[in-house]
Structure 1
Amino acid sequence: MHSRPKPDGIQLKTPDEIEAMRVAGQQAASVLAMLREHVRPGITTGELDAIAHAYIVDELNGIPAPLNYRGFPKSICTSVNHVVCHGIPGDRVLKDGDIVNIDVTVIQDGWHGDTSKMFYVGEPSIKARRICEVAHQAMVIGIEAVRPGVTLGDIGHLIQRYVEGQRCSVVREYCGHGIGRVFHEPPQVLHYGRPGDGVVLEPGMTFTIEPMVNLGKPGTRLLADGWTVLTRDRSLSAQWEHTMAVIDDGVDVLTRLPDDPL
């Protein structure tokens, strides 16, 4: 049996295909776990990329999905402080007090696993710690709402209501996405919305939830490199991401390592 497309282009995965995606998802999660000890003051984002690339290719026999994806030049994304997403690893030296999102996507046997976490470099400020915690809780609230019959608008609304209740803001221009054999497939998973709007979830759907949360206003701007996204007001931004499958009785988080909290 193979996944079957719905009229809206969403690919419903079979149980066997979800298990294949779990392998890729667990591998992506293992990259983030491996990198934790390396995220420290003095290391460059380019060095983190090189470590991750070697691990994915040599240890996991996988493919780093971002590398050469639409021209992206590196194997992971490293988004520091007021970088919202898609930061390109390079010469930037991480300093004590920085926060960095590391976004990893591994392809294994043709299937994608996509996940990201925030890391503290040394000791974060109170504001930095707070934006990371709010973004994490926003993702958890979204994931815990996933089950058949719920709409994507329901999920976006819950995330938005929580974030704005914390006097932070949800980035509008970038969102979660369907995933499987294709890195980004339908549906778009917005982290804001109205209850009842959008696609109704059903078993076999696989997608990411990855709210980008700003300490200031939601506006962003894109740098000339065509990838790096900054907060327009230079406020701190944070993001967490998991890949998941909708199952009969709720949600199965494919990028969650055993015994890991969400």
Structure 2
Amino acid sequence: MIIAKTREEIALMRESAHVVSRTLGMLAKEIKPGVTGARLDALAEAYIREEENSIPGFKGLYDCPSTLLISPNAEVVHGIPKDIPFKEGDIISVDCGAIKNEFYGDHAYTFEIGEVDEATKKLIKTTKESLYVGIKQLKEGNRVGDVGFAIQKYCEQRGYSVVRELVGHGIGRKMHEDPEMPNYGKRGRGKKFIEGMTVAIEPMINMGAKRIKQLSDGWTILTADGKPSVHFEHDVAIVDGKPVLLSTFDYVHEALGITTNEEDEFRLDLTTLLQES
């Protein structure tokens, strides 16, 4: 069952999501050749607890041992942070969750470490663009398949493959709520979107084949062919029938010196939101 949120709850969820957004922005300044996943994980946990007065959302959830899930290169998602230095040319998906106001925030960004090859840059660009292509379909009256179809078409037309076994999800007082949000599908199929619903949309796109495998640690998922995979994720709500972002990459972009208007059409005006509630 999809759990619709009130305007006040959506405002609280935006605060939760922005804890994660600021954490990713802080980490963006630390991600460079020589840094380890374990170091980033320790920084993130301290920041969430001490600077944001919040609770890491992943640590302990389903017995997860870490605050971050860090997945380099051919790892798709759910990589456990290790004490191994990243090197020039690596890419890493950093997935982070936090609890504030009794609500979860959960999103991810794929970072380039130093100079990355052009083919991987194109995969990163396409995956990030596909996230917003999918978000545009999160409108009242549309269905789960509309989002998945849009992401799948955008990526496959550019020669990439979509992971099938891992999907986005509803989010709220629980990390995972209804509905599941695949990054593939058929238009007009699946559960219908309603006003006030909140979801995490997260394309996981491979340079090679769509097949994946899991390591013996029970967490790490990687591509079966060893080719790179990219992951981006946003928390999104439906307000007045349209998609609005609860999370933001603004803090990451500021840290990395990136200028973009990709989020502009999805921005949430909190003042207006609460005045109308």
| TM-score, normalization by structure 2 | 0.90
- In structure 2, the residue matched to 1:4 is none
Return the offset for 1:93.
1.0
Q: Provide the residue aligned with 2:34 in structure 1.
A: 42
Q: Aligned partners of 2:226 and 2:155: how far apart in 1? A: 18
2:4 aligns with 12
Counterpart pick for 2:219 among 223, 227, 230: 227
Deviation at 1:92, TM superposition (A): 2.0
Find out whether 1:213 has 2:171 as its counterpart: no
Aligned partner of 1:19: which letter? A
Q: How many residues align?
A: 254
1:200 matches 2:189: no
1:4-52 CA distances to partner (integer Å, 9 max, x unpaired)? xxxxx21111111101100001111011111111000000010000011
Match of 1:173 in 2: 165
Three-state SS of the structure 2 residue aligned to 1:77 is: strand
In structure 2, how many angstroms separate the alpha carbons of the residues matched to 1:86 and 1:177? 15
Amino acid at match of 2:196: G
Q: How big is each residue's C-alpha offset from its partner over 1:37-85, in whole Å with a ceiling of 9 and x where there is no partner? A: 1000000010000011110000001111110111110001101000000
Is 2:129 the counterpart of 1:137? yes
Consecutive unaligned residues of structure 2, counting only runs of 5 or more, are: 254-261, 264-277
Structure 2 Cα separation of the partners of residues 184 and 258 of structure 1: 25
Matched with 1:72 is 64
Q: Which runs of 4+ in 1 moved over 2 A?
A: 257-262
1:249 is displaced (CA, Å) by 3.8
State the distance in 1 between where 2:216 and 2:229 align: 20
C-alpha displacement of 1:258: 6.0
Contact 1:38 1:48 in 2 (8 A): yes
**Residue in structure 2 matched with residue 5 of structure 1 by the alignment:** none
Distance 2:114 2:215 in 1: 27
Look up the SS of the partner of 2:227 in the other structure: coil
| Partner AA of 1:173 in structure 2 | E
Counterpart in 2 of 1:63? 55
1:212-246 C-alpha deviation (Å, 9 max, x unpaired): 00000000001111100010000100010000101
Matched to 1:58, the amino acid is E
**TM-score normalised by structure 1 residue count:** 0.95
CA distance in 1, matches of 2:178, 2:241: 22
Question: 1:257: Cα distance to partner?
Answer: 5.5
**Residue 100, structure 1, aligned to residue 92, structure 2:** yes
Determine if contact 1:202/1:247 at 8 Å carries over to the other structure: no
Letter in structure 2 aligned against 1:48: L
Q: Secondary structure at the match of 2:29?
A: helix
SS of the residue 1:11 aligns to? coil
Which AA in structure 1 matches 2:134? G
Residue 190 of structure 1 is matched in structure 2 by 182
**2:113 is aligned with 1:121:** yes
- SS in structure 1 at match of 2:193: coil
